[in-house]
Amino acid sequence: MSAFMDLVQKRRSIRDYRPDPVPREMIESCVEAVRFAPSASDTRGWRFFVVEGDVKDRLVKEAMGGVVVPNRFAAGAPVIVALAMKLNVVTHRLGAGIKRIDYHLLDAGIAGEHFILRAAELGLGTCWIGWFDKKKAKRILDIPSDWDVPALITVGFPAEEPKSKDRPLASEICTFRNGK
Ligand SMILES: Cc1cc2nc3c(=O)[nH]c(=O)nc-3n(C[C@H](O)[C@H](O)[C@H](O)COP(=O)(O)O)c2cc1C
């Protein structure tokens, strides 16, 4: 198996972390992987906010609670990354409005996955967080009001090894349309 296929098969969402701090160079290396991500019209609107210490504690307490899906586990992650998107007027506002496709969310997803896969390669655990209070998160992190924050990502050294889970077969998620 190729190193890439091995990496994508082994990556799991991690929700239990060791308290050890994450070296800054590791985070920088994950961001380095994002530099090469594709984006709609090459707009490169990604902006990463790396949150640690007291600010992280506040973020978890005020923006990540919740009755339905509590993401309190994030309190144990030494780092939370806020994936922000600086919206481009032509591509992300006009183009998206005309085509009804949220290009900036596609861009964010691709960028986040580059980040996460590089993190996995470095032995870091991550978890996408889509369930949080965006308004509060933006206020706590002082992110400009006209930027979007579609996701947070917890980062740290794993303290758990989730067992493998069932995955759909390629044939279940892929259909060929070739006119035959
Ligand atoms: C956009 C997105 C949002 C997610 N939001 C949350 C979340 O708020 N809380 C959480 O615990 N996991 C969240 N997850 C993680 C998924 O639950 C997880 O990826 C899925 O169950 C598959 O497990 P795996 O990542 O271990 O393969 C999110 C994943 C994605 C891609």
d(CA 74, CA 77): 5
Domain boundaries, the chain: 3-159
Cβ of 74 below 6 Å from ligand 1: no
Average pLDDT in the 153-163 region?
Answer: 97
pLDDT, tens digit, 9 for 90 and up, residues 105-154: 999 999 999 999 999 999 999 999 999 999 999 999 999 999 999 999 99
Kindly report the number of other CB atoms within 10 A of residue 104's CB atom.
24
Q: Is the pLDDT of residue 66 over 90?
A: no
What DSSP state is assigned to residue 40?
G
Give distance in angstroms: CA of 156 to centre of ligand 1: 16
Q: Where are the beta strands (DSSP E) in 27-172?
A: 46-51, 79-85, 125-129, 148-156
Give distance in angstroms: CA of 127 to centre of ligand 1: 6
Give distance in angstroms: CA of 3 to centre of ligand 1: 23
For the structural domain made of 3-159, what CATH number should be given? Answer: 3.40.109.10
Q: Is the pLDDT of residue 69 over 70?
A: no
Strand partners, 129: 152
Q: Is the pLDDT of residue 19 over 80?
A: yes
